[in-house]
Amino acid sequence: MIYLDNAATTLIKPASVQRAVLEALGSMASPGRGGHPPAMKAAETVFNCRLAAAELFRVPEPEQVVFTLNATHALNIAIHSLAKKGTRVLISGFEHNSVTRPLNALGADVTVFGQELFDREAVLEDFKKKLPGAQLAVCTHVSNVFGFVLPVYEIAALCRQRGVPLIVDASQSAGVLELDMRRLGAAFIAMPGHKALFGPQGTGILLCGQKGLPLLQGGSGSESILQQMPDYLPDRLEAGTHNVCGIAGLLAGLEYVREKGTEEILRHERRLLAQAREELKDSGLELFTGPEGSQCGVLSLRSPRLDCETAAALLAEQGICVRAGLHCAPIAHRSAETLKTGTIRLSFSPFVAERQLSAACAALRKLA
């Protein structure tokens, strides 16, 4: 099997992740509940994971690292904390439904900025133009469809100047690009655990620059006599039993990323991207690629004769796993004018070898 659907979930994980999950399953109870050894062992693991995430993403205090089920859950907490009916929200032209659907459900007044694929300057210019009057901005760091790296640090600086809170969706960048909470000064940064942080599915992280509003209420293991959620992090946003096995795996994934280094991971993924561009350049397939530095981890393409789902099914028959369709991001496809067709998406990870990509490219050439 050649697995090229890492932008959805990394299937191939470091061996340490699987070991950590199994170890937790057999030995850890629930943190913040009992005081007995299995509960305290779970608490230790969860705390170590907070510390590891705080270190990797330069978060001032481990309390600001909140565990969620996935990035969607994290984004929902962030959005429900800062937006309500009528709130004027700026979103990039490359957001996922996990941003647009909650905003739509709340009745926020949404304006889209920056729909120019792979043109960071144009995106920034449009953001500057539309920022006055905005009450909230939401920006993905990297488009899940095209791998377009948005100018999120520049956008963050403009938000800080204007006092506009910013939510960053780091679903595709966490574990690959530098992600610095201190430098961004964002209100919230949301990310999944199961993509480039190599945790299991069912893990996510919300980095909190502010307290936020609980999406769920329930047991927190603290201040149990009160009928409101605690007013401090992380307890405020973590109602119910933690996914301890998942968090144990996520900790192992974070340790892998720290040891390998995001620079090396990014270098590898960009090498693969360049290789795919080179091997497919005269194939007759339509490739969506940007100038140097504007793309990472993901390559979208279209076949001139096959619809994307048929093409992906043909690849799957050959053991090549890619994703096709709209990738839960219709707005990104609208920006790139691919909404009617969708795209075939290849997405990389440190566990994709060059020879595997070559074999996938050979199969892809036959789809033209």
Distance (Å, whole) CA 95 – CA 142: 9
Give 32 or 325: the residue with its C-beta nearer to another protein: 32
Binding to another protein (CB under 8 A) within 201-260 occurs at 221-226, 230, 232, 234-235
Nearest distance, CB of residue 70 and another protein, angstroms: 21
Contact between 18 and another protein (CB under 8 A)? no
Q: Considering only 27-35, 291-299, 308-316, 339-347, which stretch makes contact with another protein by CB under 8 A?
A: 27-35
- What's the burial of 280, exposed, middle or buried (CB within 10 Å: 0-12/13-18/19+)? buried
The residue whose two tokens read 């990797």 is: 56
Q: Which is nearer to another protein, 169 or 235 (CB)?
A: 235
Rounded to a whole number of angstroms, the minimum distance from the CB of residue 232 to another protein is 6
Minimum CB distance to another protein smaller for 58 or for 160: 58
- Asked if 15 interacts with another protein (CB under 8 A), we say no
CA–CA separation, 119 and 117 (whole Å): 6
Could you give the CA distance from residue 340 to residue 324 in angstroms, rounded to a whole number?
13
**CA dihedral over 244, 245, 246, 248, signed as positive or negative:** positive
Site string for another protein, 37-76 (x = CB under 8 A): ---x--xx--x--x----------xxx-------------
Please say which residue, 123 or 233, places its beta carbon nearer to another protein: 233
Q: Is 304 in the site for another protein (CB under 8 A)?
A: no
How far lies 85's CA from each of 46, 103, 104, 110, 128, in Å?
35, 9, 9, 10, 24
Residues near another protein (CB under 8 A)? 31-32, 34-35, 40, 43-44, 47, 50, 61-63, 221-226, 230, 232, 234-235
